[in-house]
Structure 1
Amino acid sequence: MCPLDIKLHYVENGDPSKPLMIFLHGFPEFWYSWRYQILEFSKDYWCIAMDMRGYGHSERPEGLAPYKIELLVADVRDLIRQLGREKCTLVAHDWGGLIACRLRDVYPETFNQLIILASASREVWNTEVWENPIQRRKSWYVFMYRFPWLAEYMLQLNNLAIFDRAMLVPGKDSVTPEDIECYKYWFGKQYAFTPPVNYYRANFVYDMPNNQPNGNVPMLVIYGEKDAYLELSLIDRMKKRYGNIETAIIENCAHFLQQEEPQKVNKLIRDFLSKTNSS
């Protein structure tokens, strides 16, 4: 069990005797967004791709308080313990990355390595969104999501067309219409969007202290060159905040990079793991 007795669903693959690798998805996703990485890294790791609270098969508590970032962080920390481990390699995308960065800041001893895709710490994102008008424009939806029911209404329009627009890439076949139907199956359920949107509502702040991270965790940050939601200048802020960090940008790639360019993402992760495992 996790905080507030939350039941979390996860998919696993690989040998449980091998090192633990956990995957945290973003918005609006669920464990399925890691299908390419689960297959790739289960050769060498015990892979666990979880549905975060409010998503997929995991429990969906009502209200805003259960989606505070402190509880989301505790979910991951407690899952690691429930799996009988003290450390893991964590791979996280989008909202999963915000949670992972906070976990790394508070409990650095939890990590062997941390890989962040298309994300940043809350402190870095908050500074960028208020100091960079381009990032503020790219983050318009974050402000819209604060209004009751408006986000749910907009996201469900035209048979959940948001998934077709955001994830299907002309000329690339790594995300198929059949994959999109998997997302629409889950998010087409009644009230399915409210818990994920509550992540934004519960954690939005106009100002926050720039708390400095603890520990020295090997960290890889990867962005897509054509990310519609994040400015590449966030990478520079991440470099200033964290030591022992490597960064990479995948050309001609957008926000959902682990699905759009799985081979490139997997190679970057594997190269990083090879270096940091031997160091």
Structure 2
Amino acid sequence: MDVKDLQYSELPPRAQHVLENFFPDQEAIKARQEHFRDVGPRDADSEGDVEILDGVEFTHHFVDAPGDHETVRFHYVEAGDPANESILFLHGIPDSWYQWHHQMAALASEYHCVAFDLKGYGQSEKSPGDYRHQAAAEQLVAALDLIGLETFNLVTHDRGSVQGDYIAADHSDRVLRYGRGEQHLYHFNPVLAPQADLFAEAPFTGLMNDPVEFTVFVYTWIATHDLPDDEMRRVIQEYSYPGINRAVPRYFNSSTFRQEWIERRLRLIPAWTCPVMILEGYDSKTQPREFYEHARDYIPNAKDVAVRYIQAGHFWSMERPDEVTALLRELLAMPA
């Protein structure tokens, strides 16, 4: 297949209706932003710091991997015994490793759970450099080499799925199973991705300058259930570390959603060989569930393909944590 043969997918009628009220009421956004206006930055972690979440110990680590300006410093958090089978979690925007803390806590008694802050996010590197997702994914793999994570189950969300797609394709011998969520797969229509232009222009418009305003805007827009206040506060804090507002837009100025979709269709999807579970919010505004109904047809070389919907919007790992954990257990039971 050639690029010229790729066609945007027609929107299902339900998705067309969703687009009529795509963005939430501005007054509702402002009221929620004011509710969290007092949230301030969180102190940065140090190597070996431990915190307790859901009754489980989480340990903070840092690793300097080869990359831009000689090294790229990644922040990651782990829970569970490193001797057990590993799960690597990758987050989306505007999140961090914390997006997966409920699932990590629930699975830590059986698995070695590791969650990274992607480059540009959280407490990871934010210096200028190569922010193409393929390059960032390779730098992340270099970090995995340094910490000794040879094989792993891969669980991703949103922008983390873009990098996960490269890891599953280019390092297929290392990925045991791939749980992939909230990112365009085979079907794509640019009207569902207005955030691409919004985020690319963020350095000029100041869209990301206020972490409270930006984080609450995104969560109010595409979540269908409000998070508990303490969790929403932590999400805001994780997006408040200095430099995030400058670093994250670099991704959106290094590529486009169309370019990602072309690479996915022509090269990445056919290279996935492990079992794959597609995870999507049943009420996701930007990822119509109808686009994933026949995913087996589009992932021809995977050992197995399953599609599962969560009764939530875009941020289902936080909106419906127990439901997501149950689905991850189903993924982990798929023969590798």
Same fold (TM over 0.5): yes
Q: TM-score, normalised by structure 1?
A: 0.84
Q: 1:198 aligns with which of 250, 264, 282?
A: 250
- Counterpart amino acid of residue 199 in structure 2: Y
- Counterpart amino acid of residue 14 in structure 1: G
Q: 1:269 aligns with which of 325, 328, 334?
A: 328
1:258 matched to 2:317? The reply is yes
Q: TM-score, normalised by structure 2?
A: 0.70
Distance 2:184 2:140 in 1: 17
Distance 1:138 1:221 in 2: 19
Q: 1:112 aligns with which of 171, 176, 179?
A: 176
Q: State how 1:25-174 maps to structure 2 within 5 Å.
A: 25-62=91-128, 65-121=129-185, 124=186, 128-129=188-189, 136-147=190-201, 149-150=203-204, 152-153=206-207, 156=210, 159-160=213-214, 161-163=216-218, 165-166=220-221, 169-170=224-225
Percent of residue pairs bearing the same amino acid type:
18
TM-aligned CA deviation for residue 236 of structure 1: 4.3
Compared CA separation, residues 52 and 247, structure 1 to 2 (3 A): same
The answer as to whether partners of 2:91 and 2:100 remain within 8 angstroms in 1 is: yes
SS of 1:44's partner is coil
Q: Which residue of 1 aligns with 2:24?
A: none
TM-aligned CA deviation for residue 264 of structure 1: 0.9
Q: Which residue of 2 aligns with 1:222?
A: 279
Distance 2:192 2:188 in 1: 11
State the Cα deviation string for residues 116-170 of structure 1 (Å, max 9, x = none): 122245xx3xx512xxxxxx33211112222252454267387443155147655
State the Cα deviation string for residues 24-59 of structure 1 (Å, max 9, x = none): 000110011111011011111111111111111111
Q: Which residue of 1 aligns with 2:229?
A: 177
State the Cα deviation string for residues 210-235 of structure 1 (Å, max 9, x = none): 12532521111111111122122331
Distance 2:100 2:257 in 1: 29
Give 5+ residue unaligned stretches, structure 2: 1-63
TM-aligned CA deviation for residue 266 of structure 1: 0.8
Compared CA separation, residues 154 and 24, structure 1 to 2 (3 A): closer
Distance 2:120 2:211 in 1: 21
User: Who wins on radius of gyration, i.e. which is larger?
Assistant: 2
1:232 matched to 2:310? The reply is no
SS of 1:108's partner is coil
Q: Which residue of 2 aligns with 1:249?
A: 309
Compared CA separation, residues 155 and 163, structure 1 to 2 (3 A): farther
Compared CA separation, residues 189 and 13, structure 1 to 2 (3 A): closer
Distance 2:323 2:113 in 1: 19
Q: Which residue of 1 aligns with 2:56?
A: none
TM-aligned CA deviation for residue 88 of structure 1: 0.5
The answer as to whether partners of 1:80 and 1:87 remain within 8 angstroms in 2 is: no
Give 5+ residue unaligned stretches, structure 1: 130-135
SS of 2:148's partner is coil
Compared CA separation, residues 23 and 268, structure 1 to 2 (3 A): same
TM-aligned CA deviation for residue 14 of structure 1: 0.4
